[in-house]
Amino acid sequence: MHQFEKIAYKPIPVRELLLEMKNLSELMIDLAYSAALYNDKDLAEDVLALEARVDNLAYLLELEIMIAARDPKDAEQLIGVSTVAASTDKISDAAADIAAIVTRNIGIHPIVGVIFEKVEERLMKVTVKPNSKLINKQIDDLDLAVTMGVDIIAIRRNKDWILDPKEEERVLEGDTLITRGAPSGIEEIKNLAEGKIKAINTAEREKFEKIVSKFVELKNTSELMMDLAYSSLMLNSKDLAEEVERLEEKMDQLHTEFELLALTSDFKKEEASGFLGLIRLGIATEKIADAAADMAEVVLRGVEPHPILKLAIEEAEETVVQACVTADSQLVGKTLKEAQINQETGMVVLVIKRGEKCLRPRGDYIISVGDVLVASGYADGADALEKLASPNQECEDEEW
């Protein structure tokens, strides 16, 4: 039987609690997918331990909100904080559901490896070889987020996991790194460390191509919804919140199509457990999407996001920024694909605001002077994006 930590009031600022919940829940998603991809029980157990931590933080945050709400006006201002905290807790629960697929020996079908070759943000498990240039380098010296758009989310050293390693942590020979980021950056760090990833044969790839494609769309859409939901809160943007709501409806349809594909596919009896694991992965992505929709609903209901929410998003390891494109920017006149913003800064452009319109741009979208880029990524890349968009000029904060 699970042992629950007794909850006792501790005077911790709401901002700190919310910030830790956001950072941990997003880390948990990456670690849980990594545990599933590599069938790593130790990593999965660590995800479950982090879920318990997030649950405790959620209780402590609710206590703080109850104490702070002295009258109806306070309650109205804090309801958004409470909703976002609950949504963040749901995201951590979804990550725990993914980890449980591994800890309960349900099984992960080999096509999961193919799925993670095709998603927008890839995961890579790589061992640092004796002649690697990474050896004895501090993580902050490598500057991976800006130079490659990659982050080291965990290090396996001997039999222990170092989760969300600090910037001063050094990479040692024999370390196993779990990295996440842009495909080009993942390949680059793989070459640096000289690691290899297990592949699935071509016949299996072709057989399950539709399932792979549908799950890739599910995963990418659920993570886009999270970014857009946080963006809508940060900017108090009804347009972005409505886009989250639209994507939530799309997710419902995608999830149904994915489950039907999985259930009607020509899998062997011995593959049944692996397909059950796939179906549960799909359910987890749907939970993440629902949590994102709950966050966006705060804006759609006309609740003014509390300043604490903005601070927590700004100070998080993964943040949301807006950058105005000025006339002296090298981005002007380039398509989004040509600009290679993700490769240059590690940031992913979610939305471009041009005048009164908010657009979710494609690769052929041409960037113009005055465009406001809303992007998500590691805090290290935020300054790089702002310098790229506005090298010598400052823009006033855009009204949403």
Q: Which pLDDT tens digit goes with each residue over 187-242?
A: 788 778 863 444 455 555 566 788 889 999 999 999 999 999 999 998 899 999 99
Residue 9 has pLDDT above 80, yes or no: no
Give the CATH number of the domain where residue 323 resides.
3.30.70.1450
pLDDT of residue 289: 97
Within-domain flag for 255: yes
**Residue 383 burial (CB count, 10 A):** 13
Sign of torsion over alpha carbons 320, 151, 384, 17: positive
Same domain, 238 and 99: yes
Give the CATH number of the domain where residue 244 resides.
1.20.58.220
Percent of the chain with pLDDT over 90: 48
pLDDT of residue 196: 43
Same domain, 321 and 354: yes
pLDDT of residue 199: 46
Residue 160 has pLDDT above 80, yes or no: yes
CB under 8 Å to 144, separation ≥6 — which residues? 150, 151, 152, 179, 181, 185, 189
Within-domain flag for 232: yes
**Following DSSP, what letter does each residue of 12-67 receive, concatenated?**
--HHHHHHHHHHHHHHHHHHHHHHHHHT-HHHHHHHHHHHHHHHHHHHHHHHHHHH
Instruction: Tell me the pLDDT of the chain averaged across its residues.
Output: 87
Residue 276 has pLDDT above 80, yes or no: yes
Q: How many residues does the chain have?
A: 400
User: Which residues form the domain of 93?
Assistant: 14-109+208-309
Within-domain flag for 336: yes
pLDDT of residue 198: 43
Backbone phi, then psi, for 371, in 5-degree steps?
-60, 140
Residue 394 has pLDDT above 50, yes or no: yes
- Which carries the bigger pLDDT value, residue 198 or residue 18? 18
pLDDT of residue 395: 64
Overall average pLDDT of the 346-358 stretch: 86
Judge contact between 362 and 301, C-beta under 8 A. no
Same domain, 98 and 154: no
Considering 309, 332, 361, which residue would you say is the last residue of a domain?
A: 309
Considering 146, 169, 193, which residue would you say is the last residue of a domain?
A: 193
d(CA 118, CA 208): 13
Same domain, 177 and 216: no
Name the domain count of the chain: 3
Same domain, 341 and 248: no
**Residue 328 burial (CB count, 10 A):** 11
Considering 193, 223, 245, which residue would you say is the last residue of a domain?
A: 193
- Cα 390 vs. chain centroid, distance in angstroms? 26
Residue 99 has pLDDT above 90, yes or no: yes
d(CA 134, CA 125): 15
Same domain, 181 and 214: no
Overall average pLDDT of the 34-59 stretch: 92
Same domain, 220 and 356: no
Overall average pLDDT of the 63-82 stretch: 87
pLDDT in tens, 293-325: 999 999 999 988 888 898 899 888 888 888 999
pLDDT of residue 195: 39
What percent of the residues of the chain are helix, what percent strand, and what percent coil, each to the nearest 5? Answer: 60, 15, 30
Overall average pLDDT of the 149-163 stretch: 86
Same domain, 18 and 79: yes
- Which carries the bigger pLDDT value, residue 163 or residue 393? 163
Return the H-helix or E-strand segment holding 135.
none
Same domain, 105 and 231: yes
pLDDT of residue 360: 80
pLDDT of residue 84: 95
Same domain, 262 and 237: yes
Same domain, 217 and 155: no
